[in-house]
Structure 1
């Protein structure tokens, strides 16, 4: 089977890919992530995922290259990574007690051809206290994350409900990624190790 390359520096995406049992190499793609004029959030995350994968795919045509992008959307506006602590605090205030969408796109490039999937998850935050917002920002966790929070970390206590894919909110939708890899000729389940009993050679 072909080698797998993850076109992302995100440790969260790498951890999710390892969770699937995939052996891969990390090669971050450095592209312009500026939204186009009047570009819809859905189109933006799909374009970002595709361009990341295609950029690395051009340099490694023999591999399957995965690109992904996540955006937090509130009232139609993309909430990117915070510029500073004040920006993170304002973003968290806007998310407090409201429902937002998390859009995550994943693309797989093989021989220059891209296949893509888009996952939309609705996340509702409970009302946040000013002191806990301040404490969360001081922790530093929001600073490299879309929407200024990490659901898999300290920010998970803010989530009141979630409808959709948890792994997509973290950064990589597991089911859709597995589907794309299978379509590319890499069904991940064929690489899973066998559980073996130490003595009998089989499961208990």
Structure 2
């Protein structure tokens, strides 16, 4: 049984490896805007879950044999507005000024697809919400952080496991979800498709 991660995220890969799973990586290349446009006024949780499922489904043609494919998507809800990756320095700085000293809800959608002999036999998907409490970086700190490029390419414009961790006061909920893949949620979804996560652990070298 292979574990296939439908994501290019190095953070998700690192979380899984630290938790005993060494996945095969397949990048989905899904047009996220097109998936979102196909939904009618989706709730934030519905949107991230639909994107996660689209990513998992997109890599299925490249997977054969017995496998479980996992797709993920993350977004940040600030003052009721759902945002993804800033992309531009100006946008990242503006978002940080808006969320500094406050809280945001990090939404992570997960989808699990089980294949047997290359054929889909089960699917499960859901999302998780984690509250993130942000510090108030000085203008000099914010300028330096945005200048690294890190916040431009991650959901919500921050990381918990990178440079952004200096500016996060705390997390109310599942920390792994904020990094990109919720271990508790993934374990539950695997169980729904008949897989025990312990069977996927890579044997440890002693």
Structure 1 pair 131/117, CA: closer, same or farther in 2 (3 Å)?
A: same
Match of 1:154? Answer: 163
Match of 2:117? Answer: none
Q: State the Cα distance separating 1:60 from its structure 2 match.
A: 2.1
How many equivalent residue pairs? 195
Q: State the Cα distance separating 1:114 from its structure 2 match.
A: 2.0
TM-score (norm 1): 0.87
Q: Deviations over 1:100-141 (max 9, x none)?
A: 100011111121642012110001112232111101011221
Q: Which runs of 5+ in 1 are unaligned?
A: 197-204
The counterpart of 1:83, out of the listed 65, 68, 87, is 87
Match of 1:54? Answer: 57
The answer to whether the Cα contact below 8 Å between 2:132 and 2:172 also exists between their aligned partners in 1 is yes
Structure number with greater Rg is 1
Whole-angstrom distance in 1 between the partners of 2:141 and 2:194 = 47
Counterpart mapping for 1:91-130 below 5 A: 91-110=95-114, 111=120, 113-130=122-139
TM-score (norm 2): 0.87
Deviates more, 1:56-65 or 1:107-116: 56-65
Deviates more, 1:176-185 or 1:143-152: 176-185
Whole-angstrom distance in 1 between the partners of 2:168 and 2:147 = 19
Verify: 1:74 aligned to 2:60, yes or no. no
Q: State the Cα distance separating 1:174 from its structure 2 match.
A: 0.8
SS at match of 1:82: coil
Counterpart mapping for 1:161-200 below 5 A: 161-190=170-199, 191=201, 193=203
**4+ residue segments displaced more than 4 Å:** none
Structure 1 pair 150/17, CA: closer, same or farther in 2 (3 Å)?
A: same
